[in-house]
């Protein structure tokens, strides 16, 4: 009778170990899936950020060209605008 209980306990313990191993395998598999999904999402975000950066760079180039063209067409006004802008910035950032 004692040996039957001992064998039953050992079988139960072995079954518990097997269940724990299976659960660990499933967790490791899920971890790998989550890692892959996060990697894919990160690549998508990186591609979106690079696209936005390219758009911003193009817009900055266009604004720069517009400012240069304006300065060539109207040098006196461009100089006056630069002087006024510098004066305003100096007043904003002065410590007085």
Distance of alpha carbon 7 from alpha carbon 61, whole angstroms:
80
User: With contact defined as beta carbons under 8 Å apart, do 92 and 84 qualify?
Assistant: no
Tally of domains in the chain: 1
Residue numbers of the domain that contains 82? 2-93
DSSP 2: H
Band of residue 4 on the pLDDT scale cut at 50, 70, 90: low
- As given in the structure block, the two tokens for residue 2 are 């004692």
Q: What is the pTM of this model?
A: 0.45
Mean pLDDT (whole number) for 45-74: 90
In this predicted model, what pLDDT tens digit does every residue of 52-66 receive, in sequence order? 999 999 999 999 999
SS3 content of the chain, % helix, strand, coil (to 5): 95, 0, 5
Mean of per-residue pLDDT scores for the chain: 86
């Amino acid at each position: 009778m004692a040996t039957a209980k001992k064998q039953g306990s050992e079988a139960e313990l072995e079954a518990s170990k097997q269940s724990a191993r299976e659960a660990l395998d499933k967790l490791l598999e899920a971890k790998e899936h989550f890692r892959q999904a996060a990697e894919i999402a990160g690549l998508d975000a990186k591609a979106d950020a690079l696209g936005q950066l390219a758009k911003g760079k193009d817009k900055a180039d266009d604004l720069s060209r517009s400012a240069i063209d304006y300065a060539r067409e109207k040098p006196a006004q461009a100089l006056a605008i630069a002087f006024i802008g510098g004066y305003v910035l100096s007043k904003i950032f002065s410590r007085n």
